[in-house]
Structures are given as structure tokens and as C-alpha cells.
Structure 1
């Protein structure tokens, strides 16, 4: 069983991990260390159990906030799936389409005439 070494709040720890879970343990320890260092910067030295408790509570608060946001996003996604927004594509009236085609033909004709006069 591999042993993972990490630091939390200036203290070294070693912990056994299941094969393949070393990276996850290091990531979790780094998150706890980030919170612990923030607490130490603000409050200074404190007993290790209190530091770990406060850091764990800060992570729990952050996790709770993220869970609330996730639940809200999932509800919104469910609402959108149940009632997809309507997208309306404007329809060009046939008279306007015909007028645009006529304008394009005239522009093409003028371009041809301009080209002929330049090459002559």
C-alpha cells in the first residue's frame, strides 16, 4: 500500500492510500492545506486540532455552497429541457425576396457593364 506524504499548515503528514488513489489524496490534502494557510495568515499560530477543524469547516462551507449552485443549475437545466425556448425564424415575404433577386440581377448587370467599359 503506497504512503503519501503531504503538508497541512506547516506540518508534515504521512498516510497510507489505496493503490491508484494517491493523486486524489494529495489533491484533497492540498485543498485542506490552502484553507489552513489562510487561517494561519489571519489568526497566527493555533493548536493543530483547532486548525484542522476550522480548515475542514471552511471546506465544508465551500462544498455546501457549490452543492447549492449545482442543484440550482440542475433545476434550471431540467426546466429548459422540459420547456425549451422557442426560436422564431423570420420569414421573408415573397415580394421582398423577388425584389432582392431583381436588385441582385441589376447589380450583376451593372458590374458586367463596368467590367466591359474598363477592358475596352
Structure 2
């Protein structure tokens, strides 16, 4: 079994973990430490059990918010998948594009000629 060292708030810990789970434990501890550090910045030093409780509650609140957002997104996805909106994208044939470009060029030329005549 591997041992993982980490710090939460102002205290260092060492826990045993299953092989391959060290990274997960360090990541979880880092999340808890982030919350603990915010609490310590606002409230100052406090007893370890209270700090861990507050940090855990803050993480639980964030988790609940993310879970609610995920549920809403899942419901919206299911709704869209069950009743997809039909989207039609017009495809302009290449010869029509060329004809329109030619018409635009001719119109611009006529406009320039008209401006020249009006300027006289």
C-alpha cells in the first residue's frame, strides 16, 4: 500500500491508499484544502474538526450546484434528442454563385458609369 502525504488547512496528514489511487487522493485533498484555505482567510485559525466540517460542507454545496446543473443539461439533451428541431441549410449551386457575382460586378460597373454621368 502506498502512503500519501498532504496538507489541509494548517495540518499535515498521511493516509494509506490503494496502488494507483494516490493521484485521486491528492486531488481530493487539494479540493478540500482549497476550501479550508478560504475559510482560514476569512475566519482565521480554528479547530481542525470545525475546519474540516466547514470545508466539507462548502464542497457539498458546490457538488449539489453542479449536480443540479448536470441534471438540467441532461434533461435538455434528452428533450432535444427526442424532438430534434429540423435545421435546413440552403446550398447555393456553384453556377448560381458565379452568376450572382457577375451580376454584382455588372451592377457596380453601371453604378460607377451613372456616377460619372451625374458628375458631368
Same fold (TM over 0.5): yes
Find the counterpart in structure 1 of residue 85 from structure 2: 85
Find the counterpart in structure 1 of residue 60 from structure 2: 60
Stretches of structure 1 lacking an aligned partner (at least 5 in a row):
108-120
- Change in CA separation of 1:12 and 1:91 when aligned onto 2, cut-off 3 Å: closer
Normalised TM-score (structure 2): 0.76
Normalised TM-score (structure 1): 0.76
CA distance in 2, matches of 1:91, 1:59: 50
Find the counterpart in structure 1 of residue 22 from structure 2: 22
CA distance in 2, matches of 1:71, 1:40: 32
CA distance in 2, matches of 1:10, 1:46: 9
Find the counterpart in structure 2 of residue 43 from structure 1: 43
Find the counterpart in structure 2 of residue 118 from structure 1: none
| Counterpart mapping for 1:2-13 below 5 A | 2-13=2-13
Alignment root-mean-square deviation, CA = 2.4
Aligned pair count reads 101
CA distance in 1, matches of 2:89, 2:24: 49
Stretches of structure 2 lacking an aligned partner (at least 5 in a row):
107-120
